[in-house]
Amino acid sequence: MNHLLALALAVLAPSALAAPVTQYALLKAAKVQGGLMTMTLDYIEVFSGAPEDAARAVRLGYYPDTRAFQAALPPSGLLTRNVNPQLRTLKTDARTVFELSCAEKPGVDTANIVPKPVSLTRFVASWKGQPGACWPFAGEVVRLRLDGTRVLKVSQVYFP
């Protein structure tokens, strides 16, 4: 009997303990109410110039080879693809962390851009283009850290 219980737990445990995932998206709308945000998002794929991203783009059939992928990269070094335009809605909770892309040391070269935790209010104001953003939002792109349907973190994606 104990073997059957152990087997059942072994089969069910992986799905119950899924690891958090990273998802990139275009933040299309943000509604703040009571310290929480309801986001309207369009999920996208983001590729950098890294060899693993080039291999992934080729494997997915977006480019015939890594040379074609590298040639398609814009000056920012980040390529976005929206292969399934469909709006989704997610809600943050009181524990969600919000980050803006900021220079590690104010007034210093942009080579050292790091994520900086900010309040929900400042994040949304920056997304709307109001002063206070460390770096302007480019193309509404955010990086989400998700655990199931729970939004752990919303980060601005830095485009040089």
Q: Show me where the domains of the chain are located.
A: 21-47+81-156
Determine the pLDDT at residue 110.
58
Angle among Cα 44, 85, 15 to the nearest 5 degrees reads 60
Mean pLDDT of the chain: 84
* Contact partners, residue 126, CB within 8 Å, separation at least 6: 100, 118, 132, 133, 134, 137, 156
Determine the pLDDT at residue 131.
67
Q: Residue 1: pLDDT above 60?
A: no
Average the pLDDT over 53-59 and give the result. 94
